[in-house]
Structure 1
């Protein structure tokens, strides 16, 4: 039978181990708020796009069920698009649509997929993506824009978009 002082030491060691574990785990994880805020803020300056990607990607990996995950995906896709990383931008927009079909950003994500394909000259894929906007989001303001984009798919963008970004039609 252990003596009283040995039991006390054993309990202290166990308590010490638990405290170390809790503190260590707490320090190694990032705060969802911190990652999201830093990542979203970094999307506003081209010089900090790599930081945005790092913070938002970590946020999405560590907190996939956070209510802001759709916002993070949308921001991440915009950064990839701004960096001319069309393929990963499209994949990120698709992830947003698949994971969050009722997100307030889902219609925009679908439209942007069409827009990226359109800009790259991949007209068939652009038309398919624009048609999905019309089919999946008929009440969205972007449904009309998708229809106009389909109608003008073979025309240079400058010939049918005005200086304020509005259709000349």
Structure 2
């Protein structure tokens, strides 16, 4: 069984994330969505809320593709998480050149830690390349329309969290 790991904070999960998840299912039999705890980022949603959002949003993708998709919270090194879930493939989404520079460094470090785990980069579709969770949260806080960037369920949760529901 080919197992892949797609890590992130997913605070909140966006159309860009879902695009990468959907396309990653063509590469693996089981896709683990690694939901990073990362207290340093000060997430808007709790870990439990982010896991619940992921599980809800990926159900249709799993049904459509036949790929098993599961959410897995983690707080350890990415390589350790990959080993914990049996993943030999790490999936990373890229939006721009700046993303690549950071990811290039991460791959080099991860290869030093465990050279049996490969990293695959998937470019976000053009309409999703500008989407960043951080910007989506800011738009919601300032009263803008986030419906182009997230699903209706995530939009409602986001607006409720920022007090704009």
Give the TM-score band, short-chain normalised. Answer: under 0.3
Structure with more contact order per residue of length (Cα contacts < 8 Å, sep ≥ 6): 2
Q: From the CA coordinates, give the structure whose radius of gyration is larger.
A: 1
**Structure with greater proportional strand content:** 2
- Whose helix fraction is larger, Structure 1's or Structure 2's? 1
